[in-house]
Homo-oligomer: A and B are copies of this chain.
Amino acid sequence: MRVLGVDPGLTRCGVGVVEGVPGRPLTMLGVGVVRTPVDAELGRRLVAIEQGIEAWLDEHRPEFVAVERVFSQHNVRTVMGTAQASAVAMLCAARRGIPVALHTPSEVKAAVTGSGRADKAQVGAMVTRLLRLSAPPRPADAADALALAICHIWRAPAQNRLQQAVALHTSKGRTG
């Protein structure tokens, strides 16, 4: 199972691709950050994110895209940007018929560290260990994207298969 994890953000959108199945060692296929200039117009920033995500989808052809579920408890301005960046990532995936899964930050932390309240350093350390990397991926958004992908591989494989079957069926229906 190949998963693209996306930690959405307007300024830095973390992306990471992980391949594997539950109970077996995981492999990192790529990690990075899609950046957009803070002073650019919002519409142009969204276009830049679209182009960045498309490039990652083209290169890695993931079977699933896992995006962090956005909450609005925190800073209002940041959350709006995060919601907008996540919308672009979901749109890119859904347009290709790739199933999109949303995971909350605490689900991701719990999946990779055993605790939903783990801090950034702990998540980074576990991502490094689980993917057998020589150092934690930088910036933290990149590590979070990998953690999202790992979380998705480990959560509910049966549900993933169902979702994939539905997506395949629906996309066949659209083109046929």
Contacts and interface: CB of A to CB of B under 8 A. Distances in A.
B170 A90 contact: no
A70 B93 CA distance: 24
Interface string A98-129: 01101000000000000000000000000000
B91 A170 contact: no
A91 B47 contact: yes
A85 to B, nearest CB: 8
A94 B44 contact: yes
A47 B95 contact: yes
Chain A interface mostly helix, strand, loop or mixed? helix
A78 to B, nearest CB: 10
Copies in the complex: 2
Given A50-B95, A87-B87, A88-B91, A43 B100 contact: yes
Contacts of A168: none
Contacts of A70: 80
Contact of A42 (B47, B50, B102): B102
A41 B94 contact: yes
Nearest to A87: B84
A100 B50 contact: no
A92 B46 CA distance: 9
Nearest to A95: B47
Contacts of A131: none
10 contacts: A41-B94, A41-B100, A42-B90, A46-B94, A47-B94, A72-B76, A84-B87, A84-B90, A87-B87, A88-B91
In the A-B complex, the 4 residue pairs with the smallest Cβ-Cβ separation, listed nearest first, are A43-B94, A84-B87, A83-B83, A87-B87
